[in-house]
């Protein structure tokens, strides 16, 4: 990659890994298409939604809370998370992230290396952003917005 990658959230793939899941993903960096060593998504948790228990053998995973509140369960301990918080999980740590608030939970989630996460998302059912999602994550085009060259 010899140039910056600029992608608008409205142009990203949105999908749910499986129909029974309670979260969907807006893939902002797709390591398969973009040929990058990491995946970045905006993870949208429905009210009461959570990830299944999971562990990554090699990857570090970071959650940055954009909106909402939740709780992370990591190797038997729990951590409350809210807007502005960052949670970083090392490889090998079993974890669950759960939305405990009255509204959706929005997290910027980054995994380095990808370790197959993007492929799971890519294989999932296509979804769309609704009005609440758009209000939480789409740029309204205000001051400071990056413009293409």
The predicted-structure confidence for 91-119, as pLDDT tens digits, reads as follows: 999 999 999 999 999 999 999 999 999 99
d(CA 127, CA 146): 26
Domain ranges of the chain: 13-137
pLDDT of residue 3: 87
Q: Is the pTM of this model over 0.85?
A: yes
pLDDT of residue 141: 47
Residue 92 near residue 57 (C-beta atoms within 8 A): yes
Confidence band for 1, pLDDT divided at 50, 70 and 90? low
The proportion of the chain whose per-residue pLDDT surpasses 90, expressed as a percent, equals 83
Residue 78 near residue 71 (C-beta atoms within 8 A): yes
Neighbours of 122 (CB within 10 A): 17
The residues pairing with 80 across neighbouring beta strands, listed in sequence order, are 71
Three-class secondary structure of residue 26 per DSSP: strand
Longest CA–CA span in the chain (Å) reads 48
d(CA 126, CA 114): 20
Q: Domain 13-137's class?
A: mainly beta
The predicted-structure confidence for 114-145, as pLDDT tens digits, reads as follows: 999 999 999 999 999 999 999 898 864 444 44
- Per DSSP, the residues of 126-149 read E----HHHHHHHS----TT-----
């Amino acid at each position: 990659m010899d140039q910056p990658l600029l992608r608008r959230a409205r142009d990203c793939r949105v999908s749910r890994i499986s129909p029974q899941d309670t979260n969907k993903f807006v893939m902002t960096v797709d390591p398969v298409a973009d040929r990058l060593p990491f995946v970045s998504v905006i993870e949208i948790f429905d009210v009461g939604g959570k990830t299944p228990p999971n562990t990554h053998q090699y990857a570090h995973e970071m959650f940055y809370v954009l909106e909402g509140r939740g709780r992370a369960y990591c190797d038997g301990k729990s951590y409350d998370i809210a807007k502005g918080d960052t949670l970083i999980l090392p490889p090998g740590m079993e974890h669950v992230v759960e939305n405990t608030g009255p509204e959706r939970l929005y997290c910027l989630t980054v995994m380095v290396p990808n370790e197959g996460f993007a492929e799971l998302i890519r294989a999932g059912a296509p979804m769309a952003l609704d009005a609440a999602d758009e209000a939480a994550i789409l740029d309204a085009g205000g001051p400071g917005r990056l413009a293409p060259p």
